[in-house]
Structure 1
Amino acid sequence: MADHQKIHPVAHDVEAPPAPTAPLVPRGASKSDQGDPAVVRQGHYPPFQRTIPVMHSKPPKRRSCCCKCLCWTISLLLLLVILIGATVGILFLVFRPKLPKFSVDKLEITQFNLNNSDDTLNATFDVTITATNPNKKIGIYYEGGSQISGWYQNTQLCEGALPKFYQGHKNTTVLDLALTGQTQNATGLINALSQQRQETGNIPLGLKVNQPVKIKLGSLKLFTVKFRVRCTLIVDDLAANNQITISSSSCKFRLRL
């Protein structure tokens, strides 16, 4: 008798499509546009993430404007300095400026008396000064408001002023000036002068000149500047109505804007 054939059920359906052994997209990896079917079927969706664009802050415009203004200001100042330097250099080459020269040629004392009643010294000096303009293309206008004074150490003895005049090119002008003054409490001054003459045989005097002038370059008249002259004299005496001998004289000249 033939053996009965036994049919055992097969757990695997031959006609069914083969089940995937592994997910198409591993967990944690990027998914397709359809999403994870398993997650969708279970009603879970991936968390919504909002992308915020990164904003880069710009530097404030005020600082940029300040930097530009500062750069422009510095550039303009440098340009101005260069232009002034070039102008001065050209003028120097064209006109060849030279400082004027001063010399004290003569000194006469017509009054130098001490008033014992009020201890006041009255002094009058007649000074002869020679002013020389050595420039060939520069003229000098001597303006009003000048001052010339005679000094012994730190004590002013007398003062006066230079006249207004124009000094042309390569010109020499001789000026006769009268200086007058009063000194209070002069007994100590007279004693110091007498002691100075006895010890050294001479008396040092100072002459100060402050003179406003205007320079003329060709036909152009410039702004006002000031001349400062400081002269040192060595004389033998300060007696009134006496021939005063100047043993040495030197003058220094300065220009002040």
Structure 2
Amino acid sequence: MWAPITATFLIYWLIYRPDRFHPRTDSAVLATFHITNDSLRYDLAVDLSFRNTQRVSILYLDVAASMYYNGTRLGPTDDALPSFRQGPKNTIVLHPAFNGVVTVDSGVVAELERERAAGTVHLRVTVSLTLMYKVLFIKDIFFYKYDCWLWFPPPSNSTPVLFYGDGTKCWRI
């Protein structure tokens, strides 16, 4: 009895390969990223693209993004990211924005000073997704988490810096 169900699921998985899905970072703007006393002020806008290469629609039930620096969570996006349905062979771009002030420890301050001296600041945006594929009578839900690594020259207090990812792949964790 289980053999036909298992074979159907295996064939379905091999055809649609949900594990091959990866969001991509198209571009980002780091307007502010500096420390005053023990407070880190940040302002980051990112363009994330989601490409559906499948022949079926994908339903994004839950999409969330958070920003990290040196292991310190700086915050979730300013606005909640929407749930949406994506048609076959389609690309959708979301624009999460991160803005705020967070208290940091001396290790984060030292790391930022080291990175500023080296000429590159590394940030990580983590994207969490709940995806649902539906083909005929089969519904499958998948939970994924991706790290999108961004690197910038240290921004000055008046000039934002840009990151051109040109579709840099985010990595599943």
TM-score scaled to structure 2, two decimals? 0.78
Tell me the amino acid that sits aligned with residue 134 of structure 1: T
SS for the counterpart of 2:154 is: coil
Higher strand share: 2
Alignment of 1:133-152 (within 5 A): 133-136=52-55, 138-144=56-62, 146-152=63-69
Provide the residue aligned with 2:123 in structure 1. Answer: 205
Moved more, 232-241 or 209-218: 232-241
Is 1:233 the counterpart of 2:153? The answer is no
Deviation of 1:196 after TM superposition, in Å, equals 1.4
Show structure 1 runs of 5+ residues with no match.
Answer: 1-78
Whole-Å Cα distance in 2 between the matches of residues 154 and 252 of structure 1? 17
Question: 1:91, CA displacement in angstroms?
Answer: 2.0
Q: Is the 8 A contact 2:130 2:142 kept in 1?
A: yes
**2:113 aligns to what?**
194
Q: Residues 106 and 112 of structure 1: is their aligned pair in 2 closer, same or farther, counting only changes over 3 Å?
A: same
Q: Where does residue 155 of structure 1 map in the other structure?
A: 72
Match of 2:44 in 1: 125
Displacement after TM superposition at 1:107 (Å): 1.4
Over the matched positions of the two proteins, sequence identity in percent amounts to 24
- CA deviations 1:45-99 (Å, max 9, x no partner) are xxxxxxxxxxxxxxxxxxxxxxxxxxxxxxxxxx53x344311233246x44353
**Deviation (angstroms), 1:187:** 5.5
The one of the two structures with greater contact order (alpha-carbon pairs below 8 A, sep at least 6) is: 2
Count of aligned residue pairs for this structure pair: 168
Q: Which of the two has higher C-alpha Rg? A: 1
Q: Would the aligned equivalents of 1:120 and 1:183 in 2 still touch at CA under 8 Å?
A: yes
The alpha-carbon deviation at position 131 of structure 1 amounts to 0.9
2-side partners of 1:163 and 1:107: how far apart? 19
Tell me the TM-score normalised to structure 1 length: 0.56
Q: 1:97 aligns with which of 14, 17, 25?
A: 17
Report the CA distance shift for 1:179/1:236 in structure 2 as closer, same or farther (over 3 A).
same
Residue 102 of structure 2 corresponds to 183
Cα distance in structure 1, aligned partners of 2:35 and 2:66: 19
Residue pair 2:122, 2:152 contacting (<8 A) in 1 also:
yes
